[in-house]
Amino acid sequence: MNISRVSSTILLSSLLVLLMGLAMPCTVLADQKPIPISFHKDILPIFRSACVGCHGMNSPAGGLSLASYASLIKGGKGGSPLTIGKGADSRLVKLLLGTMQPKMPPGGSLKQIDIDRIKQWIDAGAKTDAAIPESGLSKSKLGSKPGEPIVPAAAHHTAVGSFVLVPTPVTSLAFSADGKTLAVGSYQQVQFWDTASQKLLQTWNGHTDAVRSLSFSKDGKWLAAGGGLPTISGEIRLWDVAAGHESQVVEAHPDVVNAVAFSPDGKLIVSGSGDKSIKVWQLPSGKLSATLRDHSDGVLSAVFSPDGKYLASSGMDKSMKVWDISTGKRIYSITAHDDIVTDTEFSLDGKKLISSSADKSVKIWSFGTDSSNQLKALTGHKAGILAATFSPDGQTAATASADKSVKIWNVSSGGNSLSFSDAKDWVYTIKYSPDGKLLAAGTWDGQVLLWNTANAKLMGKLSTLRSHALTVSQ
C-alpha cells in the first residue's frame, strides 16, 4: 500500500495508522527534566499518518481539519475537540478510545502509546511550538501548496542520549521480474535486497514521505515508486534499475499517490491517489494520457489486467471499479465491501480478481468485461485486512492483516489452509515472488518476513533499520 499500503488514504490514514508513533511521550535524560511533548514533533505526525485522509485541508470530515495547529484549535461542526488541560474529558480522546462513537479512526485503532501522548499534550495545555524545519526539502519537491513535510515519530529516534534508533514501517514491496531482488518501501527510501543471500544491496533516498507503492516494469529495467505528502502533493519517482539512479520525477496529483503500476508492455503507468482520481501516463515521455474519475473518495489500489486491456481500482468509497484502458471509460462499478477496499489484484490468468477490506473480509471474483461476480468470501481475520495477493499459479491467495497475521487461502474452496503468526505488529503489505517459492510480508515495526512456500518455514527477517539493515536467518 508498501503504507502507506492507511494519508489521504485511510490506511495510511486510518489503517496506515498510527504506527509511526514509536517514541515515548517524553524522554528523560540523566539529571535532566522531562522534555515537553511537542505538537509539531510528537502530535502532528500522528494526525498526518492516521487522520488527515479524512481530516485534511480539503473538505475535512465534520469540518474538522487536523492538518495544522490552527485548524485543530478552530474545531469543526461539533465545536472544539479539545478540553484544554483535561485530556480525558476531550472529545478527541474519547473518540480515539471508543468511549464516544463513532470510534476513530474508522477501520482501525491508534496505538495506546499515541493516545496517551495526545492526552498528555492536552493535559499540559495543548500548546504549540516551532514547526519542524524542512530538512533540506526544496519547494520544488514540496510543490506550491502550503504545508510541512511529514516526520513520523520513528524519525526522531537517534543514537543520542536515551533515544533509540528504530526501523521505519514497511509500506510497500515489489519483486523484480526474475525474483532475485526485493524492493522494500519505507519512510523516504527504497531498499533493495538480494533474495538469495538476504543482503542489502542498495538504498535509494529522496522521497518526501512514506513510499506507498512500488512496481517493477516487466522487463526489470524500471522501478516506479508512488508517494508524496497527504493533502499537499503526490509524486511518482521512476528509477533506472540498471544505472542505479533516479530517471524522472512526476508531480502527479494534488494528494498522495497510493498506487502505481506498469502496464504489461511497459508503455504506460497508472497512479491512484487520495484526490479520488486515477491517471494514466505514457512512457518514457511521462506525458499524461488520461485522467479517470469515478471514485467518490481516495483511491488505494489500481492494477492492470495481464493483457493490459483493463484496469481494476478500489478505494475508500468501498467500491471496486473496472476500466477500459483504450477508451478511459469506467465499464462497471461494484460495491465490493462494507468498509474501505484496501487492495485489489488480478490473477495471472486474468480470470479472477481479489479484493481485501477493512471489514475483515477478502473476496474472490470471477472477472468479466461486463461484470464481476463474487465467487468466495474469505473470513477469519480478527482485524482489517490491509493487502491481498494471488500466488503465481492462482491456486492460493495470501492476506495481510492488522491482527498481525498472514493467512493462506485455497482459492477454489475458500478454505484457510495456513496461518503465520511470526509478525509482532500490523502486516501491511504482502507479495509472492514470481516463481511462487517465496512469500514476503512487510510490517509496521520495520520488518520484512520471508517464508518458503514449499515448507511454510520462516527463512529470515529483513530490517529497515537505517544504520545497519540486517538479516536474521532461521
CA 399-400-402 angle, to 5 degrees, is 140
CA atoms within 13 A on the CB side of 334: 25
What pLDDT is stored for residue 28 in this prediction? 39
CB 174 within 8 A of CB 216: yes
Task: For 152-172, give the secondary structure using H, E and C.
Answer: CHHHHCCCCCCCCCCCCCCCE
Beta bridge partners of 419: 407
CB 200 within 8 A of CB 448: no
* Mean pLDDT of successive 10-residue stretches along the chain, which has 474 residues: 39 38 36 69 80 67 80 84 92 88 73 90 84 32 26 35 61 95 93 94 87 94 91 88 82 91 96 95 89 95 97 96 96 95 96 95 96 95 94 96 94 93 92 97 93 94 66 35
pTM as predicted = 0.70
CB 46 within 8 A of CB 37: no
DSSP string spanning 103-114? PSSTTS---HHH
What pLDDT is stored for residue 33 in this prediction? 53
Q: How many angstroms separate the CA atoms of 168 and 22, rounded?
A: 9
What pLDDT is stored for residue 57 in this prediction? 61
- The position carrying cell 538476504 is 198
User: Residue 376: enclosing H or E segment and its boundaries?
Assistant: strand 373-379
Q: Dihedral (C-alpha) 108, 451, 202, 196: value to the nearest 10 degrees? A: -170
φ/ψ of 48, rounded to 5, equals -70, -30
101 secondary structure, DSSP code: S
- The position carrying cell 533540506 is 136
Q: How many angstroms separate the CA atoms of 215 and 460, rounded?
A: 23
What pLDDT is stored for residue 279 in this prediction? 97
Is the bond preceding residue 102 a cis peptide, omega within 30 degrees? Answer: yes
Q: What's at 148, amino acid-wise? A: E
Where in the chain are the domains?
39-156, 172-473
Comparing CA positions, the residue from 289, 278, 357, 366 lying closest to residue 319 is 357
What pLDDT is stored for residue 9 in this prediction? 43
Q: How many angstroms separate the CA atoms of 132 and 270, rounded?
A: 33
What pLDDT is stored for residue 177 in this prediction? 92
Which CATH architecture is the domain 172-473 placed in? 7 Propeller (2.130)
